[in-house]
Amino acid sequence: MKNLAGALLFFLFASGFGQSLVLTPNGLRDSADTSRTFVVLKVDDADSAQVFKEAVHWIHRWFSHGGEAIQDSTLNKDIKYHIVAGGITDIPYKVFGMKMHDHLTVDYKVELAFKGTRIRYEVVKYNLYMAEADTKIGDVDISNSGKSGSNPAIYIDTTLKLDNAKRDIEAYFNDEIKSIRDTVNAETKKASW
């Protein structure tokens, strides 16, 4: 009986944290299943039209130019948006032996797909730039054809190079995931009182 209760608690704990991304040498992956390039967010007590509507409102509130960020959408089916986020993390580098620092900018595209009361969040393409140097240092495109690209600023081959950059990029995207999940859940609960 103790083992069953422990297993149940572990399952509940683990399932609650499966809605986050980790940065791997091959791009952003579901932390619970790194073969998946997306996470699925569950919305309680809502219909698909409500979930879609609140997701559009979330984009308008979360990003300063939310209306311009939306590139494409199909009513109650999907939303594609594009964002350029600067100052994600600090990247140290050397120029002629002098230690320098620059900020990492992430230029990325997300696709939200809707099915019932679930939202599929997937970063389908992203580019990493050194902000001040305006130098592209990595790109990943997983749209349509699977995956391609690399994270040379973060990894060399499969060896982690900059732990702080990896951690900061993951935190940025996981904050975005948490925000959309919490906001859509809260707004749909208000609407269904």
Mean pLDDT is highest, among 6-15, 22-31, 95-104, for 22-31
Q: What is the pLDDT of residues 52-62, one digit of tens each?
A: 999 999 999 98
d(CA 121, CA 111): 6
Local confidence band at 9 (pLDDT 50, 70, 90 cut-offs): very low
Across 32-44, average pLDDT: 92
Local confidence band at 17 (pLDDT 50, 70, 90 cut-offs): very low
Local confidence band at 161 (pLDDT 50, 70, 90 cut-offs): low
Q: Is residue 101 predicted with pLDDT exceeding 90?
A: no
Q: Is residue 149 predicted with pLDDT exceeding 80?
A: no
Taking each continuous run of H as one helix and of E as one strand, the counts in the chain are: 4, 12
Local confidence band at 15 (pLDDT 50, 70, 90 cut-offs): very low
d(CA 88, CA 59): 19
Local confidence band at 159 (pLDDT 50, 70, 90 cut-offs): low
Local confidence band at 136 (pLDDT 50, 70, 90 cut-offs): low
Across 18-38, average pLDDT: 88
d(CA 175, CA 88): 12
Tell me, what's the pLDDT at 87?
Answer: 85
String of b and e for 123-160 (b: at least 16 CB within 10 Å)? Answer: bbbbbbbbeeeeeebbbbbbbeeeeebbbebbbeeeee
More confident residue, 118 or 130: 118
d(CA 125, CA 20): 17
Distance of CA 30 to the CA centre of its chain: 9
Q: What is the pLDDT of residues 66-76, one digit of tens each?
A: 788 999 999 99
Across 114-135, average pLDDT: 84
- Number of Cβ within 10 Å of residue 162's Cβ equals 19
CATH ID of 31-191, from 3.30.40, 1.20.950, 3.30.530, 3.40.50: 3.30.530
